[in-house]
Amino acid sequence: MRQPVTNPLAWPDAVDEQLPKWARWNPSTPYSLGVEEETMVLDPATWGLARDTEALLAALPVELAAHISAETHDAVLEIGTHPHLDISGVERELRELRRSLQHEMNRVGLHVAASGTHPTVTWEDVRVSGGSRYQLILDSMRSLTRREPTFALHVHVGVPDGATAVALLNRLRAHLPLLLGLSANSPFWQGRDSGMASVRTSIFQAFPRVGIPTSFSSYLEYVDVVDQLVRCGAFPEPSFLWWDVRLRPLFGTVEVRVMDSQSTAERSVALAALVQSIAHLELEEGYHDAALIHAPEILNENRFLAARDGMHARLIDPVTESLVPARQQLADLLDAATPHAQELGAEDALALIPEIAQDTGAGQQRRLARTTRLDGVIQILAATFSPA
């Protein structure tokens, strides 16, 4: 058994060699950004999910294939950018990756779209990917793996060391419900309106090791908690933690995972810019009161309210002991975060956030559904994935 670190005040130099290999922090440039988008591959004959996308993945051009990976479910491909020093680099690369992936899928008669869920797919349509990681998930999760696929937007923010990473993770927890409500883009499930703004959140909640993690007193505590689970065989390595925010020591990042996949690159970029600006705000200045950061029951309730109501939610403020409209919370946050966005060069991308708040993806999909069948909604999602 690995001995506990005996001198936590010696972090980082004297402690690093005592850490398990997975936990040794690979420093990255502070506030650098990377984005991952989970997308759906569609068969236009039915507008359902395509089959055998692993074979399509193997046939992609080498340069594109380096940025596209399989996911747990067949017909789900994840786009991943390089890390970038600013949001403009993310935007250029993400748009190009979307365009290239769409081109390759169109070339074989398929389409690509992004949303938190496919509006009509049911579990009978689902196939699990054949890779060893995904077969292990199937073996351990069993029928839970055969649920309808969900699609998320992940944003990585660079930090220099584990201590900073834990400080940021703790503070980002307080922002997760608002980020979820803002990104909500999955109102439909199994061909019907779920009544939720992000039904993806509820579907994915069936998996273990999801939701808002606890706060941690130090990076060493984080490592001890996670490594005990690995040593005991609960899962093979820490990427099997699917928390709404988690640490990625290999990349030197804090990864925000709570958000629904966005139908357009423009919205993904805006949300990434917001996450980056919040990170800068919290680490350089501080924003949220400890009363919220260390109130897990309130954070979890706010998470549900945001998943249910999106930006129409009223979220609990433990300081005033009142319900505050999510849009008001966002307006206050933007006032505080805008100077930080200016310092990061993210102000232009952040300018779209109020528009998203007024008309989230969930609202857009519901509005489309009033004038077209759900198959029509899917076709419009495909058409907006990477417009010419």
Report d(CA 192, CA 347) in Å as an integer.
38
Report d(CA 80, CA 67) in Å as an integer.
5
356-374 confidence digits (pLDDT tens)? 999 999 999 999 999 999 9
Q: Domain locations in the chain?
A: 10-385
**Domain 10-385 is in which class?**
alpha beta
Report d(CA 267, CA 358) in Å as an integer.
13
Q: Which tokens is 327 given?
A: 């849009």
Report d(CA 273, CA 349) in Å as an integer.
6
CA dihedral 368, 374, 379, 381 (to 10 degrees): 60
The pTM of the full predicted model, rounded to 2 decimals, is: 0.93
Residue with the two structure tokens 């433990």 = 318
Greatest alpha-carbon pair distance for the chain in Å reads 64
Report d(CA 341, CA 168) in Å as an integer.
17
- 59-90 burial code (b ≥16 CB/10 A, e <16): ebeeebeebbebbbbbbbbbbbbebbebbebb
What local confidence, expressed as pLDDT, does residue 15 receive? 61
**Whole-Å CA distances, 59 to 53, 109, 134, 380:** 10, 14, 20, 27
Q: Is the backbone of residue 125 left (phi > 0), alpha (psi -120 to 50) or beta?
A: alpha
DSSP string, 252-301: TEEEEEEEEPPSSHHHHHHHHHHHHHHHHHHHHT--S-HHHHT-HHHHHH
DSSP string, 192-210: EE-S-SBHHHHHHTTSSSE
Report d(CA 158, CA 22) in Å as an integer.
17
Q: Which tokens is 216 given?
A: 């941690």
CA dihedral 6, 11, 15, 19 (to 10 degrees): 100
DSSP string, 83-118: PBSSHHHHHHHHHHHHHHHHHHHHHTT-EEE--SB-
Spans of the chain, pLDDT less than 50: 1-14
Report d(CA 142, CA 136) in Å as an integer.
10
